[in-house]
Amino acid sequence: MPVRVVIQRWVRYGREAELRRLLEHMRTQAQSQPGFISGETLRCPSDPSLWVVISSWETMADWQRWAQGPDRPEFESRIAHLIEGPTQVLVLESIAIEYATRSGGVGPSQGVGGPTAA
């Protein structure tokens, strides 16, 4: 079952470029991992210090293998001085929910972030 991982970090003022470089490097490494589907980095417009990395993995086991791999602790130690407070990680499993489309049809949701019926 696919999973989405949402990682929140608050970057220290003036350290944005360095964090961006390290996150890009980490994403490059993640892309070569079994089960990696996609990833993106976002910044909150109302709080530009809040950076969110969202990645998608084919299975929970794929994510856990990457999260517990030898590169992660080194990466976290390299960014520790660039961020404020603890990194927050939320792992979400995709679920299939039917929803009404704008054209009136019904289709499966895309999991987290996909349209759902209220």
Q: 3-108: which CATH topology? A: Alpha-Beta Plaits (3.30.70)
pLDDT tens, 47-64?
A: 999 999 999 999 999 999
User: Where in the chain does DSSP place strands (E)?
Assistant: 3-11, 36-44, 47-57, 83-93, 98-100, 106-108
Looking at the DSSP assignment, which residues form a beta bridge with residue 5?
A: 55, 91
Residues 70-88: what's their mean pLDDT? 91
Query: CB of 7 within 8 A of CB of 93?
Result: no
C-alpha span between 91 and 3 (Å, rounded) = 7
Among 35-49, 73-87, 89-103, the range of highest mean pLDDT: 35-49
Residue 45 confidence (pLDDT) above 70: yes
